[in-house]
Structure 1
Amino acid sequence: MSGLRFCANLKWLFTELPFPERFTAAAEAGFTAVEYASPYAFSPAFLQDLLQANGLQQILINTPTGAPDSPLRAGAACHPDFQPAFQAAMSQALEYAAALSCPFIHLQAGIEPAGVSAGRALHQFEENICWSIEKAEKQGVILLLEAINLRDIPGYFLHDYHLAAEIVRRINHPSLRLMLDLYHCQVLHGDISHNLMRLLPLAAHLQIADAPTRSEPGSGELHWPFIFRQLEQQGYRGWIGCEYRPLHHSVESLNWLRRYQSAGR
């Protein structure tokens, strides 16, 4: 049985360091791949140099978002009034994905639009997804949908993993899959083992953090040896992003990973 593959999320890990230095820290900690939400403050060439210098693969980026106090602070995909902004954001994400050889883009749904029915917002979301699939397929990029709990992002439109799965099934295209974040899934739905069995077949990428504090595995209520064993038994072969807030120092927070690796997987 082959072991699981973990990548470092550089938005959350190694934050003791300036962002460019986190690539080296990730490599020194043994990671061979990284993810982070927003590369857009840096040029693609600069990020590409950091990846190559440290022997790292870029796994995931998110679509761009608006300012923290704007209606687009969590994306634009469900907003009927902002379709041009969404298309511009997706085009920018695809440019970065191409430059960084990044296989996955998290297509962020956005905040529920004021004065817009849930059905209208869902229709706009799916329309934008289909527009994006046509662009993404041409460069071999897979778009990912992630449900996010309302405690972390109040008002987030896609806050149900079963709705996300329904959308993936309904659109039924190989360039659209789930990003299954086990922290969000636990906060939203609980019963993580049952939901893994239901949702994992639709997932192309996973992210992990313990609940309820979103810190490292082993710091909260989830039983990670059982979860990792279940992922192995279900045959998951994708990457798992370490998207958690370390309780103390980032390197110290990786003790759970060293224990997993020392178990002979």
Structure 2
Amino acid sequence: MLKFAANLSLLFTEYPLIQRFGAARAAGFDAVEVQFPYTLTPEAVRKELQDHALKMVLINLPAGNWEAGDRGLACLPGREDEFAESVDLAIEWAKTLGVERLNCLAGVPPENVPAERVSATLAHNLKLAAQRCEGAGIELMIEAINNRDVPGFYLHHSHQVLDLIRKLELPATSLQYDVYHMQMMEGNLISTLQQNADKIGHIQIADVPGRHEPGTGEINFTNLFKALESQEYKGYISLEYIPRCKTEAGLGWLKTWKTQDERNELECSG
């Protein structure tokens, strides 16, 4: 049976972040993820997880100054020390919360920096992150993000991530496969999932276009989920989409999938 988690950075935004844990449990989830929980304290988050019997399945490494345009630090020359500190901070959070996977965003390289320097910086930082995560018993995820929503994002195809993991011989490192981003960049979702089943450690979903609930766009999620079941995917599938209305009103697709009823196109009411 497939396992689903709620991404609390995009779902239940009707509530403050600290209240979204309880909202997720009330909606039937037993697992959650948060992109950047660092505005809270690990102790406060741990209490929410314990109080609501939730498992935190993933958090991101701190990605720099988001408001200033940072979208990750791993490929940014001159900020290697800041990246190393972000890895250590994320590992501390992971240990406190029982998180088994940390996601790394490569970032958008600055203009007028030689490509060779950007590539070397990314390689150095990924090796450091993979080694420190392995030492902590944590799996490192690397995510490819479409360069339409995030122009200039350095890793924007799944093969780029997979090639890096292989070339750098990164220990305890896997691809975080985001269905939304990869549908926009390369398509062939089921084929990619099947051919790289042993290299994909986490999956996130949203429909295209709009990044809304499954059933609102062009992706055939019924076939996608059936393919994941047939290959006995054991990881989590995280709902990282922007609800068209209130989160709870848009979860009908998940209920119909779980009960194996007829899967109709999502209708958001309320």
Task: Work out the CA distance in 2 between the residues paired with 1:122 and 1:219.
Answer: 37
Task: Work out the CA distance in 2 between the residues paired with 1:187 and 1:128.
Answer: 27
Q: After TM superposition, give the deviation of residue 254 of structure 1 in Å.
A: 0.9
Aligned position for 1:28: 26
> Is 1:138 aligned to residue 135 of structure 2?
yes
> Is 1:85 aligned to residue 82 of structure 2?
yes
Aligned position for 2:161: 164
Q: After TM superposition, give the deviation of residue 175 of structure 1 in Å.
A: 1.2
Q: In the alignment, which of 241, 244, 250 is matched to residue 238 of structure 2?
A: 241
> Is 1:252 aligned to residue 261 of structure 2?
no
Task: Work out the CA distance in 2 between the residues paired with 1:26 and 1:254.
Answer: 11
Task: Work out the CA distance in 2 between the residues paired with 1:118 and 1:200.
Answer: 31
Asked if the contact 1:212–1:220 (Cα under 8 Å) also holds between the matched residues in 2, the reply is yes
Q: In the alignment, which of 8, 28, 33 is matched to residue 6 of structure 2?
A: 8
Could you say what secondary structure the match of 2:66 adopts? Answer: coil
Q: How many residues align?
A: 261
Q: In the alignment, which of 208, 214, 218 is matched to residue 217 of structure 1?
A: 214
Q: Deviations over 1:208-231 (max 9, x none)?
A: 001111101111001111000001
Task: Work out the CA distance in 2 between the residues paired with 1:184 and 1:144.
Answer: 15
Structure number with greater CO (CA < 8 Å, separation at least 6) is 1
Task: Work out the CA distance in 1 between the residues paired with 2:2 and 2:153.
Answer: 30
Aligned position for 2:184: 187
> Is 1:148 aligned to residue 154 of structure 2?
no
Q: In the alignment, which of 53, 58, 61 is matched to residue 60 of structure 1?
A: 58
Q: After TM superposition, give the deviation of residue 171 of structure 1 in Å.
A: 2.9
Structure 1 residue ranges, 4+ long, deviating more than 4 angstroms after superposition: none
Could you say what secondary structure the match of 2:251 adopts? Answer: helix
Q: Give the residue type in structure 1 aligned to 2:144.
A: A
Aligned position for 2:36: 38
User: Cα RMSD over matched residues?
Assistant: 1.4
Q: Give the residue type in structure 1 aligned to 2:189.
A: I
Structure 1: segments with no counterpart, 5+ residues: none
Task: Work out the CA distance in 2 between the residues paired with 1:161 and 1:120.
Answer: 22
> Is 1:49 aligned to residue 47 of structure 2?
yes
Q: Give the residue type in structure 1 aligned to 2:66.
A: P
Kindly report which structure 2 residues correspond to 1:193-232, keeping only aligned pairs within 5 A, or say none.
193-232=190-229
Asked if the contact 2:130–2:171 (Cα under 8 Å) also holds between the matched residues in 1, the reply is no
Percent identity over paired residues? 36
Asked if the contact 1:78–1:113 (Cα under 8 Å) also holds between the matched residues in 2, the reply is no
TM-score (norm 1): 0.95
